[in-house]
Structure 1
Amino acid sequence: MALEPYRRLFRLPGVGVLLAVGVLARVPVTAIGMALTLHAVESLDLGYIMAGLLTMASTVGLAVGSPLSGRLVDRYGLRPVLAVTTAAQALFWATAWALPFPVLVGAAAVAGLLGLPVFSVVRQCLAAMVPLEQRRTAFSLDSMFVELSYMTGPALAVFGMITFGSGPTMAVIAIGLTGSGLALLLLNPPIRSAEELAEPGAKVSRRQWLTPGLLALLATVAAATFVLTATELAMVATMEGSKQTAWIGLAVGIWCVYSLTGGFVYGGLSRGFSPLLLIASMALLTVPVGLVSGAWWWLVLALLPSGLLCAPSLSSTVEALTRRVPAGARGEAMGLHGTALLIGAAASAPVAGAIIDAHGAGWAFAVAGLIGVTIVLVALPFSRRPPRPPAETLSGDLSGDALQEAPAPG
């Protein structure tokens, strides 16, 4: 596969720096859930039910706050939102280790509401900085970097909590989140392209872009993370049931490599595919995985076809969203995309867990895949309606020089 699409992408002014800051900034963000869980279980000795309550409070805050922060970025610019959310994260993580549990739950919810919007901001800025015809490459590479962050952040949180305890680990997370926010503040990447900034500054009505087609797209985003979360849980349960627990880390790592490989290949293609097709294919290919038995590597091999579609499925939804939404509402739409990801993952865990307990891990693969396919089929009639072409998506015609001349908002 040709590397030229990636070379062209990194020639665009500011894109390489934004991607580098994005991947580093996401590491402490991805460590949050594991750090809160282990703090409740190990440091506070409260068990996994209380740990689940704590992480649920944080997740609910994130789900509500993600589109809210995106809307504020659209209205007031990037820097004011980053200043508030960075300060909120620094305050929470510098004090969380000392808070009593009831106060900690409330504070975690507020910290989630004021979460640092790294994921949505990086994607929003990429959409502004990258011409339309190169966004597939940009969002594929971004999805690969997200995968690397999720491979790194939780593992570092486990290492820190076990080795050093809650106080030092949470202090490091505070430093990481504060540094990430400050780095984005200093970088101040554009949230709209030069041509988009030249458009009249009229307020964008939600009715213009929050259409049944976009809601259908967001439903398939949730379906993707539903399938992925259930797959991970079922994989762990399968290997625990066959007494191959020692190989779980390696198996999950290989599964992530599949996703990275698929994302790299997809980003270099001359044309993309419908996110509905990719997500439905990933879900359908997950269904028969539960039939595999025996050594752990057979399970890992069975996950190859669906694993290759993980990153392409998610990156294609971001690309499709940027085509449907005007630039003036792009931040809020990216926030809704993040909320859909959270909803899919949060809904999957109890469903998959109940199936595993009642019928075994094999059925969790099958049911999760079938649920994913069903959601896509329900969304299909709505998504086939052509989106209203937003005037602001003319950025595909911009050259790198034009982007370089665009004034930074905020």
Structure 2
Amino acid sequence: MKRYWQILRQPQISSLLVIGMIARLPHSALSMLLLLHLVTNLDQSWVSAGLVTALMTLGIAIGAPWRGARVDAWGLRRALIPSIFVETLVWCTVPHVALEWVYPLAFIGGLFSLPVFSVVRTALGIMTTGDQRRTAFALDATGTELVFIVGPASAGIVATQISSTIGLSVIGITASLAGLALMILNPPTRSDDPKAVAMRANVHEERLGAEASFIAAAPVGVAEVEGELITAGWKSARARIKSRGRAFKGRFNWISASVLAVFIAAGGAGALLTGTEVGIVAELEAQSRSGDLGIVFLFWCGSSLIGGLLYGAMNRSISPLMLLLAMAILTVPMYFATDTWSLALLSLAPGFLCAPTLSAASEWLTDLVAEKRRGEAMGWYGSAMTTGTALGSPLTGIFVDTLGPAQAFIGIGALAVFIVIIALIAQQIRRRVRRARRRRLEAIG
């Protein structure tokens, strides 16, 4: 535990991790509480309720990179002000309006959702380097696991025992209070901030900085060595791309094949996790054991928490694609579950790799993207995961309806394996193209 104590002894980092957990808690309960409010209070079907949460998810997916980019451009405090006001207004209003108003309000609430993920991961990337960064991301991932154990369960208790109207209002207020706490803490999002407490340089980041300097001095249209946007050959691009095209390219020149692979891993992990969740619920319902859901989730999420802590103590990083591939393969044996306890035990193996996969993806993305673009990159990372989460649930539902609950684990696991294979093939193709362009540049030089 030495590495964890080294991280937690730094007040700025430990405060950020605690506030990040608290800030995520209302959002982790929001979807469940919103569903229950629509079904129980407004007498809506599950289809209508699902559409509302889908609109909110779409808003989050669109807003995450936008809000992250505003953090990069405006600074943390200015970027959080819109979220603080809008979240309170939206979620305190939703319980008191008719269904036709809930749809646009849910989308707006998602669009202006507090960018907790982007802020916390960007700040941790600034305040730590190397092995410290891996440990810090693992702590954040395990804290998130705790939040998603507590959040949905709390939403169910509030909706059934108190009031979903009160619960939604509390979520709006607490989300804004969490935004104010982040503004007061004001964690660094740039390395020149005095609060950036990284203890030693990151060799990989220094190399990326040197390559960025080389690209800045290169002629317009010359492909980047590592952090280039996937475009056509530099000669044809130089002739065809107009001023707006060049501006657009410059806007996204931090996207590389490796960055796209991280986004694919995030989307695949989101789909696999929600698919596994739906499969667990469907399997227990088929066995008439829905009341045992907490037992399975305790094993599944608890295993992820332990896996995240162990990954954070490692001396080396692991490709998030490889971790996702292993998690997908280990999900398939859940097909053989026959009762609650066998399902819980079979969930241990894939659950163990959940937090490490997300931690590794954040670590790789931080190393691959220049500091001035990390907030936006983390926003796109969150959007990729949100998109995967939104797709995983209905896809698994199709497997459940057509094949059965047990077969759904095979279906979602095979889908995640397919996603990883596509990403690995794309990476290999891109590396070959990159090597060819590098040789071309050397010949020109």
In the alignment, is residue 255 of structure 1 matched against residue 253 of structure 2?
Answer: no
User: How far apart in 2 are the matches of 1:94 and 1:73?
Assistant: 25
Q: 2:354 aligns with which of 310, 316, 329?
A: 310
Q: Is the 8 Å Cα contact of residues 24 and 144 (structure 2) preserved in structure 1?
A: yes
Q: Is the 8 Å Cα contact of residues 225 and 344 (structure 1) preserved in structure 2?
A: yes
The one-letter amino acid of 1:329's match is R
SS of residue in 1 equivalent to 2:414: helix
Give the 3 Å change call, closer, same or farther, for CA 71–197 of structure 1 in structure 2. farther
Which residue of the partner structure matches residue 219 of structure 1? 264
Q: Is the 8 Å Cα contact of residues 134 and 360 (structure 2) preserved in structure 1?
A: yes
Which residue of the partner structure matches residue 229 of structure 1? 274
Write out the 4+ residue segments of structure 1 that deviate beyond 3 Å after TM superposition. 195-200, 202-207, 381-386
Which residue of the partner structure matches residue 372 of structure 1? 416
Give the 3 Å change call, closer, same or farther, for CA 280–102 of structure 1 in structure 2. same
- Structure 2, unpaired ranges of 5+: 197-208, 217-246, 435-445
Q: 2:377 aligns with which of 315, 333, 338?
A: 333
User: How far apart in 1 are the matches of 2:55 and 2:3?
Assistant: 41
Q: CA deviation at 1:238?
A: 1.2
- Structure 1, unpaired ranges of 5+: 389-410
Q: 2:175 aligns with which of 174, 177, 197?
A: 177
Q: CA deviation at 1:196?
A: 11
**Superposed CA RMSD:** 2.3
User: How far apart in 1 are the matches of 2:323 and 2:39?
Assistant: 38
Q: Is the 8 Å Cα contact of residues 24 and 147 (structure 2) preserved in structure 1?
A: yes
User: How far apart in 2 are the matches of 1:10 and 1:74?
Assistant: 26
Which residue of the partner structure matches residue 243 of structure 1? 288
Q: Is the 8 Å Cα contact of residues 28 and 173 (structure 1) preserved in structure 2?
A: yes
Which residue of the partner structure matches residue 355 of structure 1? 399
Which residue of the partner structure matches residue 31 of structure 1? 29
Q: CA deviation at 1:207?
A: 4.1
Q: CA deviation at 1:10?
A: 1.8
Q: CA deviation at 1:288?
A: 2.1
User: How far apart in 2 are the matches of 1:327 and 1:126?
Assistant: 12
Percent same amino acid at aligned positions? 39
SS of residue in 2 equivalent to 1:127: helix
Cα shift readout 1:68-97 (whole Å, capped 9, x = no counterpart): 001111111111111111100011122111
Q: 1:287 aligns with which of 319, 332, 335?
A: 332
Q: 2:108 aligns with which of 107, 110, 115?
A: 110
Q: CA deviation at 1:195?
A: 7.8
Q: 2:68 aligns with which of 63, 67, 70?
A: 70
User: How far apart in 2 are the matches of 1:333 and 1:135?
Assistant: 17
Listed as ranges, the matches of 1:51-200 within 5 Å are 51-194=49-192
Cα shift readout 1:259-296 (whole Å, capped 9, x = no counterpart): 00100111111112111111000001111220232x31
SS of residue in 1 equivalent to 2:315: coil
Which residue of the partner structure matches residue 408 of structure 1? none
Q: CA deviation at 1:133?
A: 2.9
User: How far apart in 2 are the matches of 1:193 and 1:302?
Assistant: 43
The one-letter amino acid of 2:323's match is L
User: How far apart in 2 are the matches of 1:12 and 1:236?
Assistant: 40
The one-letter amino acid of 1:95's match is T
SS of residue in 2 equivalent to 1:175: helix
Listed as ranges, the matches of 1:266-277 within 5 Å are 266-277=311-322
The one-letter amino acid of 2:93's match is T
- TM-score w.r.t. structure 2 length? 0.82
The one-letter amino acid of 1:171's match is S
SS of residue in 2 equivalent to 1:194: coil
Q: Is the 8 Å Cα contact of residues 64 and 111 (structure 2) preserved in structure 1?
A: yes
User: How far apart in 2 are the matches of 1:268 and 1:174?
Assistant: 36
Which residue of the partner structure matches residue 394 of structure 1? none
Asked which structure has the greater CA Rg, the reply is 2
Give the 3 Å change call, closer, same or farther, for CA 262–4 of structure 1 in structure 2. same
Q: Is the 8 Å Cα contact of residues 217 and 379 (structure 1) preserved in structure 2?
A: no
Q: CA deviation at 1:167?
A: 2.5
User: How far apart in 2 are the matches of 1:239 and 1:13?
Assistant: 43
Q: 2:341 aligns with which of 297, 300, 310?
A: 297
User: How far apart in 2 are the matches of 1:349 and 1:175?
Assistant: 29
SS of residue in 1 equivalent to 2:143: helix
User: How far apart in 1 are the matches of 2:277 and 2:167?
Assistant: 26
